[in-house]
Amino acid sequence: MFKSIQWKLLTVFVLLIISVMIIVGTFLLNSVSTYYHESFVNQMSDIVFTDDLVNQLRTAAVSDDGVEQMCRIIDVYAGKMGLNSYRTYYILDGVTAAVLYSYDSGSESVGITQNLLDAMDGEIGNSINRGAAVMDYAYPLKLENKSYIIYVCDSKMELYGTLQNIFTIILWALLLGLAISVFLGLFMSRTIIAPIASLKKRAEKIASGDFDQKLEVKSRDEIGQLTGTFNTMATELAQTLSEIAREKTKVETIFRFMTDAVVAFDAGGVATHINQAAKALLSLGDDEKISFSELSKRLGINVALNEFIYLKGYEITERNAEYDGRILKAQFAPLISDGKTADGVVVVIQDITEQQKLSMAQRDFVANVSHELRTPLTTVKSYTETLMENAAPASMELNFLSVINNETDRMTRLVKDLLTLSLFDNDRTILSKTYFSMPDLIKSVVQKISMEADRHHHIINFYENGPAAQFYGDIDRIEQVIINIITNAIKYTHDNGIINIYCDNSITNVTIKVRDNGMGIPASDLPHIFERFYRVDKARSRKHGGTGLGLAIAKEIIEAHNGTIEISSVYGKGTTVIIKMPCYSK
């Protein structure tokens, strides 16, 4: 109950009133006490002990009955002194402070105070000590052979009575203030709590799915603005949830009728969604579930759930598998909920059996056709060269035969490249690996193509960095790649160009970089540069005798050595080819 806002507000009001009354009461009591003490001292100094009274007392003190004479004089000033039952005066010996005369005739001695000590030293004792039991004032009379002290003492009974009356008034004011604060606190707290309670009930109805009822805005203050904002929020929330429900229905419909198999898993590897295609592919019943580990085991894929949730991040991983006589492609993608962490994995399984069969048929067809074309092309080449030897110089027959010979050479290169790719496609490529020096190989390639570079007035620079570690690989295949890359740089760089070749060696890896300042490659063509038969400029490639397979073959050779090849280029400024390979690979 006491955790309610109503009681918190009431407590604040009560504590505020108590604090204010304590502060005001303390200040008032202290002010009254200070006023009484200062008024007593000012009365004695300014009104009672004037120069006239002091001179009269000095004259009376020198007489034989000096004490009696001084008493008569002081009695005349009794009204000014305010003498009553609470305030009296004494005539004391100036040396011993013995009582020589007492106004109330009942005191034979007085208490020693600071003011009395000051008077005994010859000074007027008029200091204020609010903590003392009495208010006192001591005036010394110094004569030639004797001294007296006129000592006025007030017991503070009048002051205590006044302070008690003030305290009573403050106490009654405090009680009245508490009653008013309790009333106002209850009224204000209920005024605030009533709309908040309505908001609470409305929120509970919204939580249960009821968005129809709206709250009445009864004021224009912050509570009213909060009520209006809450109504707007409820309306927007209802629309948002409706849109989410519609989108969820769409997604579930698409998910249910997808031809590809889709299975979603949570972070614990438990399947949360399985569509009909997945159940049919995996031979699962309507109510049967499958875990991530069971799916991996059934498809024969050696993967772990944590690998995709914690290690792969946002990457999509593909794995191929064979299951029940079919070739499958499984794609693993993490489920990102809050934009930072993965809460699960979605697996999309596609049946690519027919695609693989078609692809294999295409590759076999290309390989067979390429193989069958070698013999007729060799025959055409030999007959053409024989006819060219017997043709008349500068004749039409010689021109035609030259065209046939060049096209035959281009067809021969194309067939050769197709056969090379077919070997890689069918995993029939046998690499003749041996140890050799990569810098020495690059130097020999540069020397072989130096004449072609000189013909275009190119400058080729070779830079070697690091110890020349022995590289283990197929020297002929690597040489084929390097020749292809440098030849392309020569072909597609304008005359008087500069081609820089870098070879960075380390204990475990070698990096080859070929950079030119040629015409470059458009950004739209870079993603397709390693595709087969892809040409940036078909007319330009055909002019230079390109088949569109050189970079595709280079990529296959580098990947066969467990390496990578990348191309970066700025159109009109040049191209950079980077090849990275381990020095030793099985």
Q: Over 90: is that where the pLDDT of 250 sits?
A: no
Last residue of a domain, one of 323, 351, 379: 351
More confident residue, 241 or 567: 567
User: Do 440 and 556 have their domain in common?
Assistant: yes
What CATH number should be reported for the domain holding residue 134? Answer: 3.30.450
Q: Are residues 561 and 506 in the same domain?
A: yes
In this model, does residue 428 exceed pLDDT 60? no
User: What is the structure's pLDDT at 539?
Assistant: 46
Residue 364 lies in a domain: yes
Classify residue 315 by its DSSP letter.
-
pLDDT higher at 463 or 330: 463
Q: Please report which confidence band the pLDDT of residue 180 belongs to, taking 50, 70 and 90 as the band edges.
A: confident
- For the chain, state the CA radius of gyration: 56
Average pLDDT, the chain: 80
Shared-domain flag, residues 147 and 88: yes
- The residue-averaged pLDDT of 150-165 equals 86
The pLDDT of residue 314? 63
Residue 86 domain boundaries = 6-161
Confidence of residue 556 (pLDDT cuts 50, 70, 90): confident
**Which H or E run contains 15?**
helix 5-42
3-state secondary structure of 106: coil
3-state secondary structure of 212: coil
Q: 62-71, pLDDT tens digit by residue?
A: 887 888 888 8
Q: Which residue, 397, 425, 453, sits at the end of a domain? A: 425
Of 56-65, 161-170, 220-229, least confident by mean pLDDT is 220-229
Q: How many domains does the chain have?
A: 5
Q: Give the residue from 335, 351, 367 where a domain finishes.
A: 351
Examine residue 182 and state whether it is found in any structural domain, yes or no: no
Q: State yes or no: pLDDT of 232 exceeds 80.
A: no
Is 97 a domain residue?
Answer: yes
CA distance 263 to 260: 10
> Three-state DSSP class for 464?
strand
Do 56 and 150 fall into the same domain? yes
| Inside any domain, residue 228 | yes
Domain assignment present for residue 171? The answer is no
In a domain, 207, yes or no: no
Task: Tell whether 57 and 147 lie within a shared domain.
Answer: yes
228-257 as b/e, with b when 16 or more CB fall inside 10 Å? eebbeebeeeeeeeeeeeeeeeeeeeebee
Token pair 């027959």 in the structure block, residue: 397
Two tokens, residue 121: 């030293």
CATH of the domain at 419: 1.10.287.130
Q: Give residue 482's pLDDT band: very low, low, confident or very high (50, 70, 90).
A: very high
Q: Are residues 467 and 539 in the same domain?
A: yes
* Predicted confidence (pLDDT) at residue 537 exceeds the cutoff of 70: no
Provide the CATH number for the domain around residue 339. 3.30.450.20
| Same domain, yes or no: 12 and 113 | yes
Q: Which tens digits make up the pLDDT trace of 543-554?
A: 555 567 778 888
CB 288 within 8 A of CB 276: no
**Residue of 546 and 132 predicted with greater confidence:** 132
Q: If pLDDT is split at 50, 70 and 90, which confidence band does 462 have?
A: very high
pLDDT of residue 1: 47
Based on the fold, state whether residues 409 and 442 are members of the same structural domain: no
How far are the Cα atoms of 97, 113, 138, 151, 564 from residue 100, in angstroms, in the given order? 9, 18, 14, 11, 122
| C-alpha–C-alpha distance, residues 272 and 542, integer Å | 55
- Model pLDDT for residues 557-571, shown as the tens digit of each residue: 888 888 999 999 998
Q: With a cut of 90, say whether residue 326 has pLDDT above it.
A: no
pLDDT interval class at 580 (50, 70, 90): very high
pTM value surpassing 0.85: no
Quick check: 513 pLDDT over 80?
Answer: yes
Shared domain check, 156 and 10: yes
Mark whether 28 and 128 lie in a shared domain.
yes
**Environment class of 80 (CB within 10 Å of its CB; exposed 0-12, middle 13-18, buried 19+):** middle
Selected residue with higher pLDDT from 543 and 19: 19
Answer with the residue of higher pLDDT: 310 or 49. 49
Any domain includes 176: no
Please report the pLDDT score of residue 70 as a whole number.
86
279 and 223 in a common domain: no
What confidence tens digit (pLDDT) does each residue in 364-406 have?
665 566 556 666 767 777 777 777 777 777 778 877 877 787 7
Q: Which among 98-107, 194-203, 377-386, 445-454 has the top mean pLDDT?
A: 445-454
Would 172 be classed as within a structural domain? Answer: no
Please indicate, yes or no, whether residues 499 and 415 belong to a single structural domain of this protein: no
Burial class of residue 313 in the structure, from the number of CB atoms within 10 Å of its CB (0-12 exposed, 13-18 middle, 19+ buried): exposed
